[in-house]
Structure 1
């Protein structure tokens, strides 16, 4: 598991027991700062009870629930980007109590200079980089969509959401044309509902739809709408829905590159809508959490925006992650001495991606292999 090699580099990676005797999510990093202070940074985990010794900082990579910012946001020693803090507040309706930074900037915690990098997974998603007393470096990425800004490091902690080289669903490219076609082929004919994650994927879908020229209203539930208004500059007209049954009495048009309103030549109906024409269009777009697609009637065309294949709806491959090839290229470019695959928690993909890296000549192990677990100890 490379515990000795990690220790020689001046870092200890460990996990902690929770109150129920299980293991807390994700990881903890112990090291000495350049001033010789022994510190512990908690990575994407829940808070330590007040009766136990806390870490020196909670680092939150982004606002998705499986990275546990909902818990860490209530600690004054938490750190995340300004966008992540706002997203956490909107999603969980609580006040963020920690400290924030501008993504891409540097901040200091306990005297340690921490550099941050945008990984383009969700608005504000951040990687963290710092060095220890030996001058060795560590990089924690969380989930990654684009690794172009990430620096080289000695130790890399990264994700493997699509890291299984034996699974065909872990190889993909964003199907932007598929999303275009889904909208254009139903203009004037049918309503469309897209299933997408509340934060991240929904905002990405809105940006793509607006960039392609769709300027009609987009219906969303209240929270997704608030997040989209906050994080998408060109969000256009958004309409709040409850049950998914809604109607509009205004034009839903596609604007071409010349700035004129028309229906794309790719439309199956080959309809023509003049710029001055005002009519009630039967094709409206909604974007909702995937589970809410079941609430829509059968006359509404349903898609799910994902690279997963386990939903009972037609999927359009659109991801906020790197696929297995992208993750492999990222590791090769960063060239760490040791890689720790820490997400998703308890998933076999962490083991499979670690083994894949080993076959490609990199020392790597997964979170599932960590046996260094700190038991609960109450402080006096």
Structure 2
């Protein structure tokens, strides 16, 4: 470290890094140090002693390193730069401009690579000022997981963001843009959960899109696969304290979650009898989310058993449907879960009037949505049983002719298959 460097707490640095490097003069005969330091030519009488004989090097100001900053080996930080709290500088980088809180930079000159956390978490960490806490308190936190440690800090301080924002639901977007987790309510609740949960980044936008209309309406939620507990806490925050949240797991150790007010049922999701008994006890539900074992029997039996017990305008959600394409699960297969879901879509389309007499139409599910790794079944028996009839309004006609088969262009099956990319 050179002169004029300020360093915060919990700073760490790799070997050979240089911080606040002294600049070289650019306006003299040479950039060499002899133009500013007469020690280079001590034998020359009067060298460097006359007024104005040495070029002035303009000061770049203080170089500031925030709290919890990591600077990699052989990195160079130029003078006057501020590296804000939580930032990371990659090895061998040359930092020539300020680095934002929790930003990761690297390269020559250093450029933005990413952030350690989402913006919501970054702001809450900065607000916590955890680096000013006594060591005795820090060591009692779950500090190996920043989000869990933050939640514990906020609970202790009585200013949990999620608790406060529950009283300001209008601040949350009712339908965040798909594909983005910025500002995602689901992601914020997930990050704040005090226990482990595993979700893919693409899921949070789907949750926001599908579940926002249930917030604050005391829905009945069932999730399959809950042993670690984090997801149940996530849903409690997401839907509100009045939601009835029920967990299902095959592992009997999951009953520990009952201690915090969750209903827990232990059973095998591939057993239709288990589901019959379950719904006899629980009654109909608004949402069933299957995040269980992800095998085809587990997913198919669960979905088939639940559909009759989802309330009108409710949802059946099956996650991790990418297993339908994975060889370790037996895919691709015509008995995979995705194949079952497509088969159900056939039933939806067989409600069309031309087929309904000869086929077995699907009269519970109004529509099916396919997302990446998630299939959502929208249950509405009222809409699903609307009679399909051809209609014609009273507008003026033009005696238009049907040119459906007038095209000179014909295509073989092989040519059409060229459009089937997947």
TM bin, normalised by shorter chain, reads under 0.3
Structure number with higher helix proportion = 2
Q: TM-score, normalised by structure 2?
A: 0.25
Larger Rg: 2
TM-score (normalizing by structure 1): 0.27
